[in-house]
Amino acid sequence: MENLRALMEAVCRIAREAGHFLKEERKSFRREVVQEKHAHDYVSYVDKASEKRIVSALKELLPEAGFITEEGSAVYQDEPYCWVVDPLDGTTNYIHDNAPYCVCIALRSREELLLGVVYDPCRDECFYGWKDGGAYVDGQRIQVSNVQQMEDAFLVVELPYNSCQYARTGEHLIHNLYGKVGGIRMTGSAALAICYVAAGRFDAWAEAFIGKWDYSAAALLVLEAGGRVTDFYGNESFIEGHHIIATNGHLHSTLQQLIQEVPPLGM
């Protein structure tokens, strides 16, 4: 696709507008309007309204593209291009008036990611990039860290909602990393954690049982920032996957090996 940069700039505007909507709605948000999709996995009218706004704007931008969206307000019917949209990543954080949360928009073909935009209204930061164009935050080019040893690593180990399938894996990771690495965090927003890997703020991240909308936009940024993204098996063709690792590259094989020692049930 030609002129990805111009398209990306328009997507940044759409993501910012959606993020500002989230922030304004948060001022009068009431927890009693929240619905539970699955155990401890929540959705509200804000997620749904944000998604409708984003989808409407993207349809005008690229009418020939389909959609993969978290809340299902549009569909993908094997169009050559597809928008992957998370209108509110970090919903549980948002519900509890806790940062971070963000808007995520990616464009992909059938085979690869083409552009990604993640806007964080809490810090007013917009991460973005396009294929072979680099990764940026608010005009500044970003790159992954150069940390090469796990003992120095600052990393994210998220615990997904699928606790029955992931508990042993999570416990194994914490047992083998806690006290042996530079620091462990859980952010509550997969997209922003991955963006932080791209920006060198984190060195590695992994999470299982997540949707394409959670990681697609940010994953492209890690690749464009010089990092590595695979599924838990190490496959570079990860865009249909649900178990994802994103790192600065140096720490990838070590983190992958730890996960494979006690993989999630059903993986």
Which 3 state secondary structure label does DSSP give 83?
strand
pLDDT bracket for residue 256 (50, 70, 90): very high
150-261: CATH, from 3.40.50.150, 3.30.1130.10, 3.40.50.720, 3.40.190.80:
3.40.190.80
Confidence at residue 12, expressed as pLDDT on a 0 to 100 scale: 98
Integer Cα distance of 214 and 210 in angstroms: 6
Q: How confident is the model at residue 70 (pLDDT cuts 50, 70, 90)?
A: confident
For residue 41, pLDDT over 70 is answered with no
Mean pLDDT of 19-45: 73
Cα–Cα dist 85/149, whole Å: 34
Across the range 40-58, mean pLDDT stands at: 81
Q: How many CB atoms lie within 10 A of CB 19?
A: 24
Which of 14, 262, 261 is closest to 128 using CA atoms?
Answer: 14
Q: Which two tokens stand for residue 222?
A: 């890690």
Q: What are 84-120's pLDDT values in tens digits?
A: 999 999 988 998 999 999 999 999 999 999 999 999 9
pLDDT of residue 36: 61
Per residue in 115-152, pLDDT tens?
999 999 999 999 999 999 999 999 999 999 999 999 99
Q: Round to whole Å and give the CA distance between 113 and 50.
A: 23
What is the rounded distance in angstroms from the CA atom of residue 213 to the CA atom of residue 203?
Answer: 22
CA distance 102 to 120: 5
Please name the residues in contact with 264: beta carbons below 8 A apart, sequence gap of 6 or more. 162, 165, 166, 169, 208, 209, 232, 243
- Beta-carbon count within 10 A of 29 CB: 16
What is the spatial distance between Cα 161 and Cα 139, in angstroms, rounded to a whole number? 35
| Tally of CB atoms within 10 A around 108 | 22
What is the sign of the dihedral through the CA atoms of 15, 92, 161 and 170?
positive
Instruction: Answer yes or no: is pLDDT of 40 > 50.
Output: no
Of the two residues 36 and 89, the one the predictor is more confident about is 89
Dist. CA 197–CA 226, nearest whole Å: 10
Chain segment 188-243, per-residue pLDDT in tens: 999 999 999 999 999 999 999 999 999 999 999 999 999 999 999 999 999 999 99
User: Residue 266 — very low, low, confident or very high, per pLDDT cuts 50/70/90?
Assistant: confident
**Residue among 260, 231, 233 at smallest CA distance from 246:** 231
pLDDT of 34 above 90: no
Task: Quickly list H helices, 146-246.
Answer: 163-177, 190-198, 212-224
Q: Which CATH class is domain 4-141?
A: alpha beta
pLDDT at 2 over 90: no
Do 44 and 35 contact (CB within 8 A), yes or no? yes
What residues does each domain of the chain span?
Answer: 4-141, 150-261
Q: Name the band, by pLDDT with cuts 50, 70 and 90, for residue 35.
A: low
Is-contact 81 108, C-beta < 8 A? yes
Residue 108's closest CA among 189, 1, 30? 1
Q: In the chain, what percentage of residues exceed pLDDT 90?
A: 80
